[in-house]
A and B are shown apart, each in its own frame.
Chain A
């Protein structure tokens, strides 16, 4: 026992810190930021994407495809569905909801079958954001129907022109984003279902009678 106690063992230098290592907090880590800031940042992102859709440029196409989200499309879908639901007839909200998501799925599937390089949710994101001009047209139609009385022909002509412009605007914006992802020799084949999709929505807008 005495020998054991007198024996010295050499373990080298095993000294160290008992404290937890301090983690370097990343700048983009949103764990500690207030909820309000997170929401505002997301809203700013959504607004930034709307700007790219309203003023479609080639440089902005990467943003929508890279940082895709479904908040904007969902918001627009809800707005259009809610406004259309006020009109006469059947369940317009359900109808538009089904039309929007199934139409997006079909357009995306067609694009994939034609050899497109875009993913499913990227396509849904782009198609959803690009109905923004048509939502504007629907709001305009709503205001026209509320504010003006009589002059049926004038009102209809006004709504028709605005919806037509919005239809062209939406189609062009979507073409800027999705058109390039399809093979160049089949761009027309990829664009046609997309234009048809916006045409149906435009028809719903123009036939909205308040």
Chain B
């Protein structure tokens, strides 16, 4: 590059457009890297486009300045002397700019992804179609969640509705809370409501994940919302059995009876629905057995972890019975 007037080569240190943009974004960090020059100082010093030939480089003089507003990085030569090594400075600047570019790119990509995720999943309008349901339909689905299907030749329809599962989970939270209160359960580092919420919603998410995983493994035709719906309606049995166990809490026998019949029916319903949408006998058996095992085991966990039979409760019941006999 030569100047038009003199024809002498210009010693201009130019940087790419992207480098300069990142440099601008850095702001104070660039000033720090260049010897502590603040942004205010940098902007007041005019830029110099060229360095004349024969410029002496001396590191003891003032540090080079950068005009942030211009599109190129230049080295001042106001007195014809540059006080610091340009090579060392350039290397440091390039490293800083590259790091800044990378950080900027990561941050901007992260922001875009987060915005896309929020727009896709955290928008209530996207969830509204899954809550568009009639009360009668919900009641029918609640009842049907205990009825296993017999014809596995054709795939069973699975709703993509989430109102029933959400309300079922909330009801299970309430019943579990009742169980814990009645059993006088004490937790060391958590409250009962937190534990109940985490347990119920955690199980819902876990069972949904298991169904989705099995659908990949066993080639089951089911999407995520349908898996969520099946898992949620399956928890109705847990609500019913936990509530009945609360009423008949003086003995374990009623609980095992309810567990086997009610929870078994619900598990069979889930397993048969999954099996009807799965191709292949061995895959059907694998998916069904895993779901039944997990579903029935979780109810045992709920009962034996949070529903203790207290001697005090037995005494209170006996006390009430005695009082009624006396009357």
A and B associate: yes
Residue of A90, A112, A188 most packed against chain B (CB within 10 A): A90
Q: Closest Cβ of chain B: how far from A28's Cβ, in Å?
A: 35
Contact string, B97-139, partner A, CB cutoff 8 A, digits 1/0? 0000000000000000000000000001001100101110010
Question: Quick check: is A192 within 8 A (CB to CB) of the other chain?
Answer: yes
Within 8 Å by CB of A196, from B127, B171, B184, lies: B171
Residue B286 lies at the interface, judged by CB distance under 8 Å to chain A: no
Is B12 close to A, CB under 8 A? no
Scan residues 176-213 of chain B and give those whose CB is less than 8 A from a CB of chain A: 177-178, 181-182, 184, 186-187, 191-194, 197
Interface string of A188-204 (1 = CB under 8 A from B): 11001100100110011
Q: Does A47 sit within 8 A of B, measured CB to CB? A: no
A90 vs B196: C-alpha distance in the bound complex, in angstroms?
Answer: 14
Contact B128–A113 (Cβ < 8 Å): yes
The reply to whether the CB of B258 lies closer than 8 angstroms to some CB of chain A is no
Count chain A CB atoms within 10 A of each CB in B138, B192, B323 and give the residue with the most.
B192
Cβ-based interface call for A207 (8 A): yes
Q: Determine, out of B82-90, B162-170, B215-223, the stretch whose residues face the partner at the interface.
A: B162-170
Contact of A192 among B134, B167, B181, B192 (CB under 8 A): B167
Asked whether, in the complex, the Cβ of A90 is within 8 Å of the Cβ of B187, the reply is: yes
Instruction: Say if the beta carbon of B252 comes within 8 Å of chain A.
Output: no
Q: Which 4 pairs across A and B sit closest by C-beta, in order of nearness? A: A95-B191, A113-B131, A188-B135, A99-B193
A152 to B181: give the CA distance in the assembly, Å. 19
What are 6 pairs between A and B in contact, CB < 8 Å?
A90-B186, A110-B167, A113-B128, A186-B134, A189-B135, A200-B174
**Does B141 interact with chain A (Cβ within 8 Å)?**
no
- Complex contact A189–B138 (CB within 8 A): yes
Known: A89-B184, A113-B128. A153 touches B323 (CB 8 A): yes
A78 lies within 8 A of chain B by Cβ: no
Q: Are B135 and A106 in contact (CB under 8 A)?
A: no
Cα distance A112–B163 when bound, in Å? 12
A91 at the interface (CB under 8 A from B): yes
Which of the residues B167, B177, B194, B197 comes within 8 Å of A203, measured between beta carbons? Answer: B177
What's the interface size class on A, roughly? Answer: 20 to 34
Residues in A whose Cβ lies below 8 Å from that of B133 = 186, 189
State whether A114 and B131 are in contact (beta carbons under 8 Å apart), knowing that A90-B191, A102-B197, A199-B174 are contacts in the complex.
Answer: yes
Interface: B224 (CB within 8 A): no
Chain A residue at minimal CB-CB distance from B134: A185
Question: A98 interface residue, CB < 8 Å from B?
Answer: yes
A-B contact count (CB 8 A): 67
Please give, as numbers and ranges, the residues of chain A lying within 8 Å of B320 by CB-CB distance: 153
* Nearest neighbor of B177 in chain A, beta-carbon distance: A200
| Residue pair A193, B170 in contact (C-beta under 8 Å) | yes
Residues from chain A with a CB closer than 8 A to the CB of B323 are 152-153
CB-defined contacts of A99 to chain B, threshold 8 Å? 193
Tell me whether A210 is interfacial, beta carbon within 8 Å: no
Q: Which of A10-62 contact B (CB under 8 A)?
A: none
| Complexed CA–CA distance, A106 and B191 (Å) | 18
Task: Please judge, given known A-B contacts A89-B184, A199-B174, A203-B177, whether A98 and B135 are in contact too, CB under 8 Å.
Answer: no
Which of A106, A109, A153, A203 is within 8 Å of B178, CB to CB?
A203
A98 to chain B: closest CB distance in Å?
A: 5
Which residues of the other chain, B, contact A152 by a CB distance below 8 angstroms?
319, 323
Q: For residue A98, which residues in chain B have a CB less than 8 angstroms away from its CB?
A: 191, 193-194
Query: Hey, which chain B residues are within 8 Å of A203, CB to CB?
Result: 174, 177-178, 181
Which residue of the partner chain A has the closest CB to B164? A189
Cα(A188)–Cα(B167), bound, Å: 12
Closest chain A CB from B65 CB (angstroms): 49
A 50-98 contacts with B by CB, 8 A? 88-91, 94-95, 98
Q: In the complex, what distance in Å separates the CA atom of A207 from the CA atom of B184?
A: 10
Task: Tell me which of A88, A192, A199 has the highest count of chain B C-beta atoms within 10 A of its own C-beta.
Answer: A192
What residues on B are CB-neighbors of A204 within 8 Å?
A: 181
B321–chain A nearest beta-carbon distance, Å: 11
Closest B residue, CB atoms, query A100: B193
The distance from the CB of B53 to the nearest CB of chain A, in whole angstroms, is 58
- How many angstroms from the CA of A196 to the CA of B174 in the assembled complex? 8
Bound together, the chains give a CA A94 to CA B192 distance in angstroms of: 10
Q: How far is the CA of A110 from the CA of B164 in the complex (A)?
A: 11
Which residues does chain A contribute within 8 Å of B138, judged by CB atoms? 189
Q: Are B135 and A94 in contact (CB under 8 A)?
A: no
How far does the Cβ of A89 sit from chain B's closest Cβ, in whole Å?
6
**B191 contacts A94, C-beta separation under 8 Å:** yes
Query: Which of A102, A189, A196 has the most B CB atoms < 10 Å from its CB?
Result: A189
A90 to B195 alpha-carbon distance, docked (Å): 12
Q: Are B192's CB and A95's CB within 8 A? A: yes
Residue numbers in A under 8 Å from B135 (CB-CB) = 185-186, 188-189
The interface residues of chain B lying within 8 Å CB-to-CB of A207 are: 181-182
A136, CB-defined interface residue at 8 Å: no
Do the beta carbons of A95 and B184 come within 8 Å of each other? no
